[in-house]
Structure 1
Amino acid sequence: MARHWSNGSSILAGTLFLQISGADCGSDSNRPLGWQVPPPSQCRRSHTFSFCEGGAMTTAVAAIAVGHPQIQGDMLWLRCPDCAGNAGSISHHDDDESFTWIRCVCCGVEIHKKRGVWRMLAASGRKNIESFVRDYEEIRRREGRGSAHPAFYLALPFADLTGRFSGQWLIRGRSYRFLERSILPRLQVRYGQGLRVLDIGAGNGWLSYRLALAGCRPVAVDLCSNAFDGLEAARHYAPVLAEFFPRIEANMDQLPFEDAQFHVAIFNASFHYSTDYDRTLREVIRCLRPGGTVLIIDSPTYRLAASGERMRAERHEQFQAHFGMRSDALATQDFLTPDMLNGLSATGIDWTTHRAWYGIRWWLRPWIAKMKRRREPSQFYLYEGQVRA
């Protein structure tokens, strides 16, 4: 079966032909299965090779263009997580759960796709990240997150069919409704239909699922890839989507994408997991097209930094008491304040603050806390950031 791509690459008779500019042939031991080396006269200019795994062609179209890659509608260009070299490209229609892999032509690292998720965590800093993920997933598992039933995931964020976290999903659902009705239509007018969205901290992928239903082309990124609460759980959305979305295990500070491929980046209840807001935003801006948009949704915000610091200390104490771990392997920021947000304008982003309506009880929380002389409760906002062109 032939499959043709808009950049001129094609898969014919089960063979992937790949043009690599300026690559070194390397030794036979470092070549992927099926690597075909061109004659020496071609080595300086371009290499043509094909590879397959277990007799089946991979879904990745690993095409390396001369210079900066030309962004095509069907392709997602990858950057090696270890050396930041060009690691080829994959299709934006990513519904294959089988194992496959591609290789960075610069450093030779193999990038594997397992159970539908591309594994693209950088080797540097992986120890602390893995420790954080291990604690995070264990706490979420013991809290009873996720479900064995596909209907649970398909109902998100508007209903929690387990009934365990209905209050949290009420907030998520109303935030999404505000995004869907008040922000997304403007973005689709600004950038056109089929806008590319980077869903950072995607969790089980429910936001990418909803965005795909709305005609967007999302890519889901998260540190967690487990099958109950992480990226692997997004498999439940595939049967109801005309085009499934890629899922990539990666760090928000080392996004494995070439420059200027996305119109919008969304942090959905995830921005506060950054260890350095400035660094995280600059990395996201690199991945956005000029004049792109950053959305920060449902990250806890306090008027005073001292309130956020108290919340952090209380949370660590609660985790230690209930789960025997503090979950502090990474020095995450954990909250925002208005002053923090104003400071982030230095990254080249102009911010607008939106507020969804979460009900009268939610609106009264700060007043009740003040009367009872308690710490101020967190507030949730939708921060819309326009990147200066």
Structure 2
Amino acid sequence: MSQTKETTHFGYQTVNKEDKVGMVANVFHSVAAKYDLMNDLMSGGIHRLWKRFAIDCSGIRPGQKVLDLAGGTGDLSAKFSRIVGKQGEVVLADINDSMLKVGRAKLRDMGIAGNINYVQANAENLPFPDNYFDLVTIGFGLRNVTDKDAALRSMFRVLKPGGRLLVLEFSKPEQEALSKAYDAYSFHLLPKMGQVIADDAESYRYLAESIRMHPDQDTLKEMMEQAGFESVGYYNLTGGVVALHRGYKF
């Protein structure tokens, strides 16, 4: 008898679980070169304020160890590198080698090198020791992970007792009017921008769909608690278009 394959979602499509990693990889191979430009254009530059807020909430100090998971082109890693200093360590990890290459080149051009390591890693099975990092961040990456529960458990494992997780991710707008405007933007304008600027409408259509399929604020809070995190809370940013979740390992 043939085994029924487990399925998951890839945007609005239903796909075999084992195929999703490769499909997401193809999206980010495609968008890596124009990723920063598209982020600025898509958000009107507001993504920089969202990331700055996450850094302000991190509580990170000189000498500490940070894992910037799904760190992509290194916006958060660049800031954390300066904060932790020479005695600290930042690991920029991403499952996609194209994004890692862009991030490494960008940070080296900025003169940031000494305390950053680059690791290609799957969030569901992190290749780091138990109780190692003071802080784990994942910015705009969790929604692309196939098994989010496994990823949250893996993040919990690598955090030191007293450490914290920050999840910065697109979420569910609080107001109906904002939600409708956001849908119109995401499904009509965003793919057109992707076509004109990155010559890739389909990848940006997937990214819009992946946002809609991501758990809402309270569901993600519950998922973090089930993974072992305590004192979990979240902040809605830009009316809930983005949320920052924070949880602790005690």
The verdict on a shared fold, with TM-score over 0.5 as the criterion, is yes
Cα separation, 2, equivalents of 1:338 and 1:163: 25
Letter of the aligned partner of 1:339 in structure 2? D
Q: Is structure 2 residue 116 aligned with structure 1 residue 235?
A: no
- Tell me, yes or no, if the aligned pair for 1:303 and 1:337 is still in contact at 8 Å: no
Shift of 1:285: 0.7
- Say which of 327, 335, 345 aligns to 2:214: 335
- Contact 2:221 2:233 survives alignment (8 Å): no
Q: Which residue of 2 aligns with 1:289?
A: 160
CA contact (8 A) 2:143 2:169 kept: no
Give the aligned partner of residue 137 of structure 1: 29
Match of 2:91 among 210, 219, 232: 219
1:274 counterpart residue number: 145
Deviations 1:32-83 (A, max 9, x none): xxxxxxxxxxxxxxxxxxxxxxxxxxxxxxxxxxxxxxxxxxxxxxxxxxxx
1:128 shift after superposition: 4.3
For 1:248 and 1:206, the matched residues in 2 are separated by 16
Please give the TM-score of this superposition, normalised by the length of structure 1.
0.46
5 Å matches for 1:112-123? none
Contact 1:273 1:334 in 2 (8 A): no
Is the CA contact 1:265–1:295 (under 8 Å) kept in the aligned structure 2?
A: yes
- C-alpha separation in 1, matches of 2:38 and 2:20: 33
Q: By how many angstroms is 1:130 displaced?
A: 2.6
**Cα distance in 1, alignment partners of residues 90 and 242 from structure 2:** 23
Q: Give, as a single letter, the amino acid of the residue that structure 1 aligns with 2:21.
A: I
For 1:164 and 1:195, the matched residues in 2 are separated by 29
The residue correspondences of 1:1-389 to structure 2 (distance < 5 A) are 128-138=20-30, 140=31, 145-146=34-35, 165-168=40-43, 170-180=45-55, 182-184=56-58, 186-188=59-61, 193-215=62-84, 216-226=88-98, 230-233=99-102, 234-238=104-108, 240-241=111-112, 243-302=114-173, 323=201, 327=206, 334-344=213-223, 345-349=225-229, 350-356=231-237, 362-363=238-239, 379-387=241-249, 389=250
Shift of 1:355: 4.2
Determine the C-alpha separation between the residues in 1 that align with 2:69 and 2:80: 13
Q: Answer whether contact 2:133 2:159 (CA < 8 A) is retained.
A: yes
Alignment check: 8 A CA contact 1:267 1:297 kept: yes
Q: Structure 1, unaligned stretches of length 5 or more?
A: 1-124, 147-159, 357-361, 364-377
User: d(CA) in 2 for partners of 1:164 and 1:303?
Assistant: 22
TM-score (norm 2): 0.69
Structure 2 unmatched ranges of 5 or more: 1-16
Relative to structure 1, the CA distance from residue 196 to residue 130 in structure 2 (aligned partners, 3 Å threshold; closer, same or farther) is: same
The equivalent of 1:32 in structure 2 is: none
Give the whole-Å Cα distance in 1 for the aligned partners of 2:211 and 2:42: 24
Distance in 1 of aligned mates of 2:129 and 2:141: 22
- In 2, Cα distance between equivalents of 1:225 and 1:232: 6
Q: Following TM superposition, by how much is the alpha carbon of 1:262 offset from its aligned partner in structure 2, in angstroms?
A: 0.6
Opposite residue 105 of structure 2, the aligned amino acid is: R
CA separation in 2, counterparts of 1:164 and 1:332?
A: 15
The structure with more helix, counted as a fraction of residues = 2
Counting aligned pairs with the same residue, the percent is 20
Q: 2:147 and 2:165 mapped to 1: Cα distance?
A: 16
Q: Aligned pair count?
A: 211
Give the Å deviation of 1:204. 1.4
- On the 8 A contact 2:135/2:165 being kept in 1, the answer is yes
Aligned-partner Cα distance in 1 for 2:96–2:73: 9
Task: State the alpha-carbon separation in 1 of the partners of residues 39 and 234 from structure 2.
Answer: 30
Cα deviation for residue 171 of structure 1 reads 2.3
1:236 deviates by 3.0
